[in-house]
Structure formats: structure tokens, C-alpha cells
């Protein structure tokens, strides 16, 4: 049998949603940015708000707390341009058995 819960018995805290955590992180970054723009010691603000120093430096250097978009296709990774694909389609239209070896 488990003992009844008393005020001295530790309990697990309720789960916090991902959105709430993200809001807290963004709020802390905003406080660091505001301190930097106001000319205050932004490293102290970062330390007191549990913001990593590297994140605080990036926020101060960038001047924004916006995150860069993730995923998607980079232009450097595209090996075939639209013009090349169009030319290949022209070749295949002219001679359809070109791909058969």
C-alpha cells in the first residue's frame, strides 16, 4: 500500500507544452536584445535568464530574435537548372529512344 500524499510529499510538476517553453525562450532572448540595445550589460541579463552566451552573442550581433527558416532546398544544392531540364526534354522529344542503351 502506498502512503497517502501529505504536503511534505514531493510531487512531479505538471508538464509544460512546447509552445510555452518556446515563448519563455523567446521572451528571455528579447530581454537580452533590449538590454543590448539600451546599452546595459547584456551578458548579465543573459546569465540571469539562463540564455547561453553563444545565443546571447548571436542575438546581439544580429539585432533580432527571429530564427532562420529551416529545411527546404538551397540554391547551391540544385544541380540542374530549369534551362537544362527544358533542353533535356527537347532532346527526348526529338529522339525518344535516346535513353535506351
Average pLDDT over residues 56-83: 83
Compare 89 and 98 and report the one with higher pLDDT. Answer: 89
Rounded CA separation 25/14 (Å) = 19
pLDDT tens-place string over residues 13-64: 888 899 999 999 999 999 999 999 999 999 999 999 999 999 999 999 999 9
Rounded CA separation 40/32 (Å) = 9
The domain locations on the chain are 19-65+73-99
Beta strands in 1-94 (DSSP E): none
Model confidence at 1, in pLDDT bands (50, 70, 90)?
Answer: low
At residue 99, the pLDDT reads: 66
Amino acid at each position: 500500500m502506498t502512503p497517502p500524499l501529505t504536503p511534505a510529499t514531493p510531487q512531479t510538476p505538471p508538464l509544460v507544452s512546447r509552445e510555452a517553453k518556446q515563448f519563455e525562450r523567446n521572451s528571455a532572448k528579447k530581454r537580452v536584445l533590449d538590454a543590448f540595445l539600451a546599452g546595459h550589460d547584456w551578458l548579465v541579463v543573459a546569465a540571469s535568464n539562463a540564455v547561453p552566451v553563444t545565443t546571447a552573442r548571436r542575438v546581439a550581433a544580429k539585432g533580432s530574435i527571429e530564427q532562420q527558416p529551416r529545411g527546404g532546398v538551397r540554391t547551391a544544392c540544385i544541380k540542374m537548372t530549369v534551362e537544362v531540364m527544358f533542353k533535356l526534354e527537347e532532346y527526348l522529344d526529338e529522339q525518344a529512344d535516346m535513353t535506351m542503351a
